[in-house]
Amino acid sequence: AVQSWLQRQARRIFEERCHHFAPLLKVQWRRLALSSAQTRWGSASADGSLRLNWRLVHFGMATIDYVVAHELAHLRHMDHSPKFWDVVRSVVPDLDAARGALKGDVLPVFD
């Protein structure tokens, strides 16, 4: 019950943030799916499909915004080139702090 509620909240927040960042990044996303991946926070496909780990809902909005912007930026650059990072940084100026939050925190696993 708690996990289902958290997943609903995650979807609502992620969709809202995608709608916020997509126009700023001049990209169009088509579909959002939630994942329970153990090693990835998100992924993007060239067709505009995004997958975001629902467990991101445990983080603050700055971290969620970073992951959403990161995956949307892949719709412009499907790599981690300097151009890609410039795109992410254009909407997430404090990129390093957001990335650091993902590496340092340990989250509960509800599976």
Of 95, 101, 45, residue with least CA distance to 69 = 95
Cα–Cα distance between 36 and 3 in angstroms, integer?
11
Per-residue pLDDT tens over the stretch 6-30: 999 999 999 999 999 999 999 999 9
| The dihedral sign for the CA sequence 68, 57, 37, 39 | positive
The pLDDT, as a whole number, for residue 107 is: 57
Fold of 2-104: Zincin-like (3.30.2010)
Average pLDDT value for residue range 42-54: 97
Which is more confidently placed, 1 or 76? 76
Q: What is the pLDDT of residues 67-99, one digit of tens each?
A: 999 999 999 999 999 999 999 999 999 988 888
Q: How far apart are CA 98 and CA 48, in angstroms?
A: 23
